[in-house]
Every structure is written in structure tokens, then in C-alpha cells.
Amino acid sequence: MTRLAELVWDDSFTRELPGDEDTANRVRQVHGAAYSRVMPTPTEAPTLVSASTEMLEMLGLDADIGDDEWFVREMTGNSVIAGTDPHAMCYGGHQFGNWAGQLGDGRAITLGEVLTESDGRQTLQLKGAGPTPYSRTADGLAVLRSSIREFLCSEAMHHLGVPTTRALTVALTGDKVMRDMFYDGRPALERGAVVCRVAPSFIRFGNFEIFAARGDIDNLRRLADYTIRTHFPELLDSPAGPVSKDVYVDWLAEVARTTADMIVHWQRVGFVHGVMNTDNMSIHGLTIDYGPYGWLEDYDPGWTPNTTDASMKRYRFGAQPHIASWNLERLANAVYPLVEEVEPLQDALNSYVTRFNERWPQMMADKLGIVDFDPESDQSLIEGLLELLVRAETDMTLFFRGLADVDTASATIADDELVAPLVEAYYVADQFSGDHRANTVAWLRRYRERIAAGGQADPARRRAMNSVNPKFVLRNYLAQLAIDDADQGDFGLTNELLDVLRNPYDEQPEHERFAAKRPDWARTRPGCSMLSCSS
């Protein structure tokens, strides 16, 4: 059996960037350093809950390594993997629009970087492995409910085709962790857990912001040069060549483009991140830090899953494209000292707008099965649909999946037959009546005409639409049901969901219950409607 210590570890981040000279693991302001070395905290009785077989394969590990005691100990921080250099990163960030100063990895400890044969450099990080110098007033730990949510969603998003960090394992620590889930003065002990998550790196916008905010331009440059040479070498004429101002600008433009791609995918599947602070934005354009996220079940652009954001709704579904742009502006401000010119940085930021404005309409056209998208005629069709969706409580996933089954081939079709594939998508049957039903029928007849004009037969259209409109997503109530079972020591539903979500676009009739819309009991239940940042 291949063990973790036998992998090819190459800890370039700690080797090439300045570290914290103070080795004490105590909360403090850390200056002049990109990270602090810190060891995970041993736990009482670690046990594995689940492991991603795909991630095991990516890293070159055996599928049954979860049965290995040492692997479980290493995935919970109870044993340090030989050849690794555990550390926590220093970064800052804008939280809910305001500069928050130093933040850093308060409950995440990076083990190191593995060089894989097919997927390049992959960084392994334990979330919930104990305090670090960046833990502020917290304990650095995580609980089972948030850990299962991150584990499942990381893998679900990957199989949906959404750029994301990945999850290797989720494990119980055997310890109890005190949490005030809704910040209402009623803390309770919960089961502690650790997630091992994986990404090319966990560098965020905030890593650059902290150096810029402190006027530490030398280390800002070192970080930018390291990031480009290690993760964006294609931007350089030669690996050892100098990183010029033009390269910094090109790098910002690339981050802007990949961020736009990520946001388009979020909007495609109805994902709401919930806490798009700049310290939660990856420079790789990956979805990172699965906290109070949620799935847009009934289509509501104003919905946010985050209780902390309930009044302001800064991070609501409909605002995500704008917030990503705002966050990129903060990154541009941070790297300005390396360029010292506004115009090229603005041009780089414009790459986000250009990319998003190109890809969002095309994404919507793909969801509708429209071939040869024509902005002049098709934009009004898209806008008309989005206006309809908010007039009644409509399940986004079921609606678009049902739309693929609408008959566009018959010469004539009765209204009842036309709307039949969509009826299941409405949460309140009485809302789909009167004017709303008539307007929906009118839109569907326009849609039929557009599909007919495109010349695509229904079977081909259905296949195309079903390849971008998922059948299965990690609905909020499904995650909560898995958590409920796990709290009782039953991890069967966690692993069953992991398996179902590996094929989110397939019909899977044996798992039809996981495609059902949110039950009424989940409408306001904690964990199914909104969540806090508590984990």
C-alpha cells in the first residue's frame, strides 16, 4: 500500500517565501511573513467518516487506504507525515465590504504540496486541526455538520463541472467542540471533525492584501513572483526570467477571467456561496471555503443562505457577479504597487466584465438548448424567463430539467400538455394558475418557435440541455439529513450522497428521491434554509 509519506512532497510555499520567526503557537499579529509553522492538535479518538476515491486516485493512493490506521491519524493531524512542513498562511481581507486587517488560517493547517503525475502540484490542508496564530478568539476546530457539508459540496461541485477545491477525507476527532450555532447565546457541545481539502494552492486575494495594507512591498513582490512562477508559468517567457509589470497585469487579467468562469458556473447550477469576502477568493478561480453556502431551490435572486448577511444580503445569489468584480478591484489595488499604473490594471479588470458578458448569455442559451445564440433576439427570451421564475415559487433545478422534456416538435400542442413537464417544479400549486400560467404558456410558445428555428430535434436538444442542467444537486435539506444521521453515528447517507453526486447529470432512477424538491418541513428548519458561519 502506498502511504502518504511515499508521495513526492515539494513544499515550495514555505521554502521560497518568508516565514514567521516566532515559533510559539499563540494568537498575535504576524508581520513580514507569509506563514507561520504550526503543528496540528492531537485528538482523542480519530475515525474516518468518508474518503473520495477520485482524490485518492489523483494522489496515487490505494482505494482501501482508509482502513489504514496511520492514514486516519495523518488525516486528523494526530501524526505528522514525513517530509511535510505544516503551516498556516497569513492573509487579510475585506469582510462584508470592510477591511478586516489580519485574518489568516485560523482553523486550517496546510500539510504540504504533493507533485502528482497527472494533476500537477496539489496542496493538502486540514480544516479543523487546531489553533494557529491566526485563530483570533476561536479554537481552530471544526464540527461534524460543517465538515460533512464541505466534504460533500467540494466533491459535488467538481462533478457538476464547477471550478472548486476538492476534499480528500472527512473524519471524526473523538472530541467535543463548543459552538453557538446561531450566535443566540445558546452554545452546545458538538462532535468535532476534520476535513482534508486539496487544491493547487490555497492562496487568496487576501494574501496580497495584507502585504499591501502594511506597506510591505518587498514581500508583496516575493509573493506575486512566487505565485506566477509556480502556478502561472505560462505567463513568463522563461521559468527563471524576471517578472515584469506586464506579467503582473497579465496575471491579474487571468485571475479575472477564471473568476468570471467560476461565477458563471455558480449561476448556472444555482449555487450561493454566502460569504464572498476577499479572503475567501482563490487566485485560481476555484470555489473555496464552503461555509454558509446554499442551493437556490426556489429561484430567488435575493436569497442568501448566510444568517450574518440576512439583513444586508450583500452576498445574495443575484449579486455574486458584481461582488466578484468588486473583490477583483481589491486585488488590483493590492498589486498596484508592483505596477504603479492605473490604466493597465483597469484593462485587466475589464477582462472580468468581458468574459462574464460573453459567457453568461451563452450559458443561459445552453441551459435553454438554444443553438447559435443570437443576442438581439435571444436575450429577451432569457430575460422573459427569469422574470417568470420569480413570480411563483419555482424550483430552479427541476424547472430547467423539465424544460428539456417540453415538446417543441409537434405542429400543435394543447396548453396542458405543453406545461406538463414543468408542473412538478412549483412549490405552491395554486401559484401556477391564472395570469402566471397564461404568461408561462405564452413564453413556452415563443420558446418552441425559437427551438424550431434553430433546427435542433428534441432528442438532441434534450441531451444537450441535460448535460448542463443537473438532475441532482446537494440540496440543503439533503445535506442536513446526512448530518442528522452522522450525528447518530450513521454515515450511510453521507456516502450514498457522495456516490449519487458523482453523476449529477444522469437520471439514476434508483435515486430519484434525491432529485425531489425541498419538502415543506425544510422550508424554515435550521441547516435547510439558512446557516451561520459557525463551524
pLDDT digits (tens, 9 = 90+) for 146-175: 999 999 999 999 999 999 999 999 999 999
What's residue 455's pLDDT?
85
| CA dist., res. 26 & res. 23, Å (int) | 9
Cell of 207: 494574501
Cell of 54: 477520485
- pTM summary value: 0.97
Q: Considering Cα of 103, then 106, then 112, then 118, what sign does the dihedral take? A: negative
Average pLDDT over the chain reads: 96
What's residue 259's pLDDT?
98
* pLDDT, tens digit (0-9, with 9 covering 90-100), for 62-110: 999 999 999 999 999 999 999 999 999 999 999 999 999 999 999 999 9
What's residue 331's pLDDT?
98
**More confident position, 16 or 531:** 16
422 and 507 in a single domain? The answer is no
Range of the domain at 383: 370-455
| CA dist., res. 371 & res. 364, Å (int) | 11
Cell of 175: 472530541
Q: Say if residue 112's pLDDT is above 80.
A: yes
Would you place residue 421 in the very low, low, confident or very high pLDDT band (cuts 50, 70, 90)? very high
| Number of CB atoms found within 10 A of residue 522's CB | 18
| Contact present, 280 and 375 (Cβ < 8 Å) | no
Residue 344 lies in a domain: no
User: Catalytic amino acids?
Assistant: 279
Q: Say if residue 177's pLDDT is above 90.
A: yes
* pLDDT, tens digit (0-9, with 9 covering 90-100), for 425-471: 999 999 999 999 999 999 999 999 999 999 899 999 999 999 999 99
Burial track 260-279 (b if 16+ CB lie within 10 A, e otherwise): bbbbbbbbbbbbbbbbbbbb
What's residue 208's pLDDT?
99
Task: For 103-171, give the DSSP string.
Answer: ---SSEEEEEEEEETTTEEEEEEEESB---TT-TTS-SBEEHHHHHHHHHHHHHHHHHT--B-EEEEEE
Q: What percent of the chain has pLDDT over 70?
A: 99
Residue 405 lies in a domain: yes
Residue 528 lies in a domain: no
408 and 486 in a single domain? The answer is no
Residue 535 lies in a domain: no
Residue 247 lies in a domain: no
Three-state SS for 528?
A: coil
Cell of 229: 512562477
169 and 134 in a single domain? The answer is yes
Residue 151 lies in a domain: yes
417 and 485 in a single domain? The answer is no
* pLDDT, tens digit (0-9, with 9 covering 90-100), for 317-347: 999 999 999 999 999 999 999 999 999 999 9
62 and 114 in a single domain? The answer is yes
Looking at 189, 206, 223, the residue that finishes a domain is 206
25 and 159 in a single domain? The answer is yes
390 and 482 in a single domain? The answer is no
* pLDDT, tens digit (0-9, with 9 covering 90-100), for 469-515: 999 999 999 999 999 999 999 999 999 999 999 999 999 999 999 99
380 and 507 in a single domain? The answer is no
Residue range 4-13: average pLDDT?
96
Closest Cα to residue 359, out of 346, 373, 371, 349? Answer: 373
| CA dist., res. 328 & res. 255, Å (int) | 8
| CA dist., res. 225 & res. 237, Å (int) | 14
79 and 172 in a single domain? The answer is yes
Residue 307 lies in a domain: no
| CA dist., res. 19 & res. 34, Å (int) | 6
> Length of the chain, please?
535
| Contact present, 221 and 338 (Cβ < 8 Å) | yes
* pLDDT, tens digit (0-9, with 9 covering 90-100), for 300-315: 999 999 999 999 999 9
Would you place residue 525 in the very low, low, confident or very high pLDDT band (cuts 50, 70, 90)? confident
Q: Say if residue 535's pLDDT is above 70.
A: no
| Contact present, 469 and 400 (Cβ < 8 Å) | yes
What's residue 328's pLDDT?
98
404 and 485 in a single domain? The answer is no
494 and 398 in a single domain? The answer is no
Looking at 420, 455, 490, the residue that finishes a domain is 455
Q: How far is CA 291 from CA 143, 312, 383, 457, 532, in A?
A: 12, 18, 31, 42, 8
What's residue 528's pLDDT?
85
Domain count, the chain: 3
Would you place residue 534 in the very low, low, confident or very high pLDDT band (cuts 50, 70, 90)? low
Looking at 206, 229, 259, the residue that finishes a domain is 206
The amino acid present at 314, given as its one-letter code, is R
Residue 275 lies in a domain: no
